[in-house]
Structure 1
Amino acid sequence: MIITVTLNPAMDKTMVIDGIELGEVNRADSVRNDIGGKGINVSKVLRSLGTDTLATGFLGGNIEDQFRKELKNMGILDQFISIQGNTRTNIKLVDRKNETNTDINDPGPVISSEELETFISFYDETVEKGDIVVLAGGLPPNIPQNLYGRLTRMAKEKEALVVIDAEGESLHHALLELPYMIKPNEKELADYLGKEALTEEEIIHSAQYLVEKGIRKVLVSRGEKGSIFITELSTLKGKGLEVQVKSTVGAGDSMVAALVFAENEKLSDFETLALAQATGAAAVATEGTKACTREEVEKHLAAAREKIEEVKK
């Protein structure tokens, strides 16, 4: 089973505007609402690719029912824990004139100790040998930053594979437990290493070091520059694909979904990176956090394969 964990989901409200004027009244040309949060976004893309997934985490407040209805409509197995607090709403501002994407994210609800223990008990009872567990996104404000580390350790004890897409202190704690696979972006990896930025050579050396420590696969996403994929067998670099950008929100989550799909289907390292690149490209060409379709991904696969090269160690 593929299990995605989203502890701080959000309703993503995407507003498209032709030229934002700060300090003035702005009127959106279009607005769309999508249930989101990194783990949920991963589940949405996995379903688009034809793979079943169970989604869990916390949901509460006025939009809980809307989330559950959408999850059911998408064919995602809903195992979220109900909480007293309100699930957050995030604002995504797409300025077509200035070609910018701006996110305004709500911190999220406070989770009680009882609600957290209910989730941990469910997680412990649900994860089994051979499962792929995706721990993705930020944590609610009062949740201990070492939680991803704890969940990684619990899943590994069950002989499940853990995929991490996180940042900051929660990423640091997770890496201490050596998850199976991680997908930091360039900035997140630099922050983890205590640097402002990384050269391409530094990205490769850092990812290779993490693999040598015991993390089996590392994909570093680099936006329009493409991505770098390091495993025990390969060091591969994929150049970015040229697409019309409609929204960058959820592109990284789509790449995580591709990694999980590839792992589940036992694809080669080369085909894994090609799929991740194609899925990321399809995602940015899709409005809001709507999941890209399998057909859209397949349109980019040939170009993705052509742009991959092996880096000699």
Structure 2
Amino acid sequence: MINTVTLNPAMDKIIYLDALNIDCMNRIQKTEKCMGGKGTHLAYNFSLLGVENRTFGVAFGGTGKEIIDILEGSGVETKYLWYETPESRTNYLVVDNDRNCTFMAERGTTLTAEMTQELLAMMEQNMAKGDILVIAGDASNVEDKEVQVKLLQIAKKMGLKLYLDSSGAFMKKGIEYHPYLIKPNLEELSELAGREICDVAGVTTALDELPDIPAIMVSMGGDGWVFRYQGKTYRGHGLKVPVGNTAGCGDALLTGLVYCLEYTEMPVLEMLAFSTALSATCAMSNQTVGFDIAKAKELQKDVMIEEL
């Protein structure tokens, strides 16, 4: 069973403008609304792929109830603590006609140490040895600053297979717990390496310096990605598609990787092409979560991948 956790879930409101102009009136063309948060995105996406999964989190008020309803409606086994007040956060994504995406995120309600302790206890009660735990996103809204380390400790104690998509000091700490896969971006890889990394050559050198992690996906935004797996390194190029918005593309890519690694026997190049195509279809939509599986299968033949 795949398990995800989201400490700071959200609803995303996407606002489309002709252009974002400062200090004047901006006329909104249209708006979209969907669920936000890395762990919630992954849970929803796994359900789209027909994968049984369980998700944990903390939600507040009517916004939090909306998040829970979306998760349950998608078929996810949802284990959330819910409090009547205050409100879970709303994030705002402003997209102009050039498809520039400006993201504005509310901080979110601070979780007390008691809340996070109850959440961790619920996770231990519901997960089992051999399960998969995907830890994604940050934990900036918690009193207990060790909560993510405690998640790692639970994974180790329970014998869970760990996938890690986080940043900063927690990513460094997480590597000590032998994750099966990590997914840093260039900035996060730079933090791990202790120097600025800005190109493919720098990425491959930094990967040589990391501990033995079975799978490492380094996302490079519009420049594609570098993936190291089974002793080989691959360079993938992003698909050129009409962009609705770019939020959620990384979550779609990670969903595809976990799905292919755990539930299929796809050859590595096919796995990478399919995951990249899923991410592209997310970019093509007006939502920050989800993808078009049928369209991804059409697009994957166009994904350019080379072995380095």
Q: Distance in 2 between matches of 1:73 and 1:67?
A: 10
Q: Secondary structure at the match of 1:187?
A: helix
Show the counterpart of 1:2: 2
How big is the shift at 1:144?
4.2
Conserved 8 A contact 2:93-2:102: yes
Task: Tell me, yes or no, if structure 1 residue 256 matches structure 2 residue 257.
Answer: no
How big is the shift at 1:150?
2.6
Show the counterpart of 2:213: 215
Report the TM-score when normalising by structure 1: 0.92
Q: Distance in 2 between matches of 1:298 and 1:257?
A: 15
Identify which range, 162-171 or 217-226, moves more after superposition: 162-171
Conserved 8 A contact 1:258-1:279: yes
How big is the shift at 1:14?
0.5
Show the counterpart of 1:308: 305
Q: Secondary structure at the match of 2:302?
A: helix
Equivalenced residues, count: 306
Q: Distance in 1 between matches of 2:21 and 2:71?
A: 36
How big is the shift at 1:114?
1.2
Show the counterpart of 2:41: 41
Q: Distance in 2 between matches of 1:237 and 1:215?
A: 18
Q: How does 1:177-188 map to 2 (within 5 A)?
A: 177-188=177-188
Q: Distance in 1 between matches of 2:68 and 2:53?
A: 14
Q: How does 1:204-283 map to 2 (within 5 A)?
A: 204-210=204-210, 213-266=211-264, 267-283=266-282
Conserved 8 A contact 1:58-1:80: yes
How big is the shift at 1:131?
1.4
Identify which range, 180-189 or 244-253, moves more after superposition: 180-189
Show the counterpart of 1:11: 11
Report the TM-score when normalising by structure 2: 0.93
Superposition RMSD in Å: 1.7
Conserved 8 A contact 2:43-2:71: no
How big is the shift at 1:200?
0.9
- Which runs of 5 or more structure 1 residues have no equivalent in the other structure? none
Q: Secondary structure at the match of 1:63?
A: helix
How big is the shift at 1:9?
0.8
Show the counterpart of 2:91: 90
How big is the shift at 1:143?
4.2
Residues 136-189 of structure 1: CA deviation (Å, up to 9, x unaligned): 112142344443333123213322211111112222222232211111112221
Percent identical residues: 27
Q: Distance in 1 between matches of 2:145 and 2:253?
A: 24
Residues 236-268 of structure 1: CA deviation (Å, up to 9, x unaligned): 111121111111100001011011101222433
Q: Secondary structure at the match of 2:108?
A: coil
For 2:298, the aligned partner's letter is K
